[in-house]
Amino acid sequence: VPGDPVVAHVGSTVILPCWISPPENFEALEIRWYHQDQFNNPVLLYNHGKIQDIHECFRNRTSLSPRSDQSGGLKDGDVSLRLEKLAFQDEGSFHCDVSGESSYGSKVVDLKIT
């Protein structure tokens, strides 16, 4: 993840970048994005090769999305989160937790809303 906060405007769409290196078999990964300290209420939970759960307040406005056109997406380890129709209450820390067959990692992306 980047070291600096991601800054975006109310109503816009943003990509919160997160990727794993080296890439692993994405179908064997659990990807959990959660906001602030809401681990048990994930913004988005990907497991067993598909999205399993999206928190109610993020439904219809979030997805896993490559951070750039050059990214190969999930198969290349890109687990970035796309958030649409940003609101002031979206501001804060987003946690990107990835667990695989033999590894686990967690990073935080800070989102600032202007």
Q: What is the pLDDT of residues 1-56, one digit of tens each?
A: 777 899 999 999 999 999 888 767 677 789 999 999 999 999 999 998 899 999 99
Q: Among 33, 80, 29, 93, which residue's Cα sits nearest to residue 58?
A: 33
- The half-sphere exposure of 82 on its side-chain side, counting CA atoms within 13 A, is 13
> Between 78 and 97, whose confidence is greater?
97
Residue 101 CB partners (closer than 8 Å, separation 6+): 24, 25, 28
Helix (H, G, I), strand (E, B) or coil at 55: coil
Give the Cα separation of 73 and 79 in Å (integer): 7
Beta strands 6-8 and 104-113, pairing class: parallel
pLDDT of residue 46: 94
pLDDT of residue 110: 96
H or E, element range at 25: none
pTM metric for this prediction = 0.89
The neighbour count for residue 29, using CB atoms within 10 Å, is 22
> Over pLDDT 90: what percentage of the chain?
66
Mean pLDDT of the residues in the chain: 89
